[in-house]
Amino acid sequence: MKLHDTHAHLLFPALAGQLPAVLERARAAGVGRVTVPALGPDVTELARTLHFAAATPGITVIAGIHPHSAAKATAEFLDAVVAAAEHPRLVAIGEIGLDFHYDFSPRDTQAAVFVDQLDRARAAGLPVVLHVREAHDETLALLREHPALPGSVVHCFTGDAAVAARYLDLGFYVSFSGIVTFPKAVEVREAARHVPSDRLLVETDAPYLAPRAHRGRTCEPAHVRDTLLELAALRGEDPGALAAAAWDNGHRALAARGGGLELTGIERMR
């Protein structure tokens, strides 16, 4: 199987200190591509992530202001993301959206920053990658007023099948993380059974949300294989066929432009 971990925070401290080993284990597990978020408002984080991707085959980048950081958003960072829109490794604006579970930023501020980024993404010709927690109705309402480009992604999906259908109707891909391996995640598991194979993605959200078999350990891209296997079992599908579909979906949604599209080595990494 060839797998695309469509969301992994490789440069977070839990993984950054062991990247050669992490990427080697990913390759051994069949991972051919990893998409890494660059989260604002620190402009140096964007530059660092793009440099890492340019030096490491198989890495693509999304960049944006996470809803947790909406109160700290700066025009400098958002302008820098748009200015980097032609970078061959920058594939989407994200992760952006609304998080009403923690409310680390005021809800009205989250909404304003989200809308700003939706508008910027559309103007720049980039899809978006959404982070949504306990705010699907509000997110979908804003998307109707400020549409995302087709091929955008709702990452680490946590809703039910009806909510998934609403994102699918807007042209989104739906990405499942290790949460789908948790027996108590009944609604997410049911949604995973219904998302069409041509709109489904897999991810780890590493270093978080390790699949059930790895609970208690730091999550890493190699674990995306466990999520894919669980999805195939839930859906009654052949794992290889589902992996191929998810790879093709990831290629359409989040593939880099130009060469260096797969993890082929780490000798250039710094």
- What are the per-10-residue average pLDDT scores of the chain (270 residues)? 97 97 97 97 97 95 98 98 96 98 97 98 97 98 97 97 98 98 98 98 98 96 98 98 97 73 49
What does the domain layout of the chain look like in residue ranges? 3-254
12 Cβ contact partners less than 8 Å away, ≥ 6 residues apart = 207
Give pLDDT, residue 20. 96
The span from the CA of 192 to the CA of 209, in Å, is: 17
Radius of gyration, alpha carbons of the chain: 17
220 Cβ contact partners less than 8 Å away, ≥ 6 residues apart = 8, 15, 22, 25, 26, 204, 206, 207
> Which pTM does this prediction carry?
0.95
Domain 3-254 is found in CATH 3.40.50.2300: no
Give pLDDT, residue 259. 53
Give pLDDT, residue 264. 57
Residue 62 and residue 93 in contact, taking contact as beta carbons nearer than 8 Å: yes
Cα–Cα–Cα angle for 257, 262, 267, rounded to 5 degrees: 110
